[in-house]
Structure 1
């Protein structure tokens, strides 16, 4: 039993070592040199504590107290990392979406409507617009595969009887010196952003300039549920504008946050690994009646591949019509 206890404590310390080293590498201040010093001090403290479990010597107790102090300082530093809305953001996430609801009409501020010529060459345009939820007629899920079949970015697009389509996307909010990092998404590197955008912007840039594979799936959802989901996005955006939150690669990403919004609307939806491996989200939706089950999923996937049409349509005003032909 003594050996088993020591082994379990050793395993916990090794996990703490790996977590602390990664957190310090991603977030520790002071540049690479100082970062390496912090990592070295943490590693030395943990390894000394680990040795004290197995080798009894006069330094065992001081080593454990040193480890406890180092762990306390690491925890205090980690807790001190708080999200902010005031940073030097990249242009595509520079503004915070907000909305105001008056009866059935929702007025949104800071809708993105860029003209993209390449991923780095674009015309910045933010706009305000109003949407009457009584004219809401469709919900589509867009999946943009950017790293193999299992990994996709999830967007939800709402269609109105006047022909407009507005897409919502939960994204990382990058600063100008940052680039996307899956590991960084676990360690408070990015804030969370909700973007509302014209499809000619947010879908075109993925299929066109970024060369991602883009699928569009019509979702089976009653009009009342569509309305609730739209309002859930607006409410989430307003709360983020007031109180920023960190993005998390697993617990608070582009798919799990949509699931959190849909779950109160469609009770009983189970958690599933496909909410993380979102490239397989169509299988999940098909199984639970979110897609048209009168056709095989393979047919829906083939029909939903709009990559070529979206890239060829360009960022024109008729983009949404052309990709749905």
Structure 2
């Protein structure tokens, strides 16, 4: 028994030493789609974002990379939409938030792992300081369309019930997160620091008493959680919102010359 206890103590000590020796870094050979860190400059209502991603995806491996500098007027910010993309069954989804402006522009924020060249995502590895985190800001025709069309994921969009005066707070919270990550690299964590927990943490800026819930871990049910908290457009049951928010058929049927952001919102409640 003593030998077993000693072995366990040594093993735990070795693991703790390994754990704390892992340090996040900005200096690795990054995959193309996460190679650039978002940089933000804010001056009143004027926000200039450098390294907004606007890739043209034909397949997951065939794409034209584009990184752009874009300017946004926060006084023209009108909407925010929750996007869930399912890639491994109904319980797990990738969570994104997309902001809409009066001029028809949309900008989507997504917390992701910062993959190295040739690296693939593993939920288990995500528990053990194996991936840095990156906040991607992208055009919807890039970050949503690659999921619905190039990757074959099941994608849903929901209008968030957020008063106009609070949209600015949410948008700037994402900007602050980007500035924080640009200054100091951090690890992605499958449980505590992921695409869904960042949305929850930011939402608490306007609703401080949001309750913890198992649906924060099983991210595929996050839209259902948001609906239960009154966070989605009012007057519709969750099942109807989910059915009408399914964008894949519209995204795949889009014709040349059509606007992707407009097409995916056709028939969606609140849009």
2:111 equivalent among 146, 170, 182: 170
Question: Larger deviation: 226-235 or 312-321?
Answer: 312-321
Structure 2 CA distance, aligned partners of 1:140 and 1:155? Answer: 8
Counterpart in 1 of 2:197? Answer: 256
Counterpart in 1 of 2:261? Answer: 320
Counterpart in 2 of 1:31? Answer: none
Task: Give the total of aligned pairs.
Answer: 266
Query: 1:156 aligned to 2:97?
Result: yes
Note closer, same or farther for the CA distance 1:204–1:188 as it changes in structure 2 (3 Å cut).
same
Indicate the structure (1 or 2) with the bigger Cα radius of gyration: 1
Gaps of 5+ in 1: 1-50, 53-59
Counterpart in 1 of 2:269? Answer: none
Contact 1:157 1:166 in 2 (8 A): yes
Counterpart in 2 of 1:144? Answer: 85
Q: CA deviation at 1:72?
A: 3.1
Superposition TM-score, scaled by structure 2 size: 0.94
Q: What SS is found at the alignment partner of 1:85? A: coil
Query: 1:76 aligned to 2:13?
Result: no
Gaps of 5+ in 2: 267-271
Counterpart in 2 of 1:229? Answer: 170
Counterpart in 2 of 1:13? Answer: none
Q: What SS is found at the alignment partner of 1:251? A: coil
Superposition TM-score, scaled by structure 1 size: 0.78
Q: Which has the higher contact order (CA 8 A, sep 6+)?
A: 2
Counterpart in 1 of 2:56? Answer: 115
Structure 1 CA distance, aligned partners of 2:143 and 2:47? Answer: 20
Note closer, same or farther for the CA distance 1:218–1:67 as it changes in structure 2 (3 Å cut).
closer
Structure 1 CA distance, aligned partners of 2:256 and 2:107? Answer: 14
Contact 2:38 2:136 in 1 (8 A): yes
Describe how 1:10-49 pairs up with structure 2 within 5 A.
Answer: none
Question: Larger deviation: 84-93 or 72-81?
Answer: 72-81
Contact 2:113 2:131 in 1 (8 A): yes
Q: CA deviation at 1:210?
A: 0.1
Query: 1:287 aligned to 2:228?
Result: yes
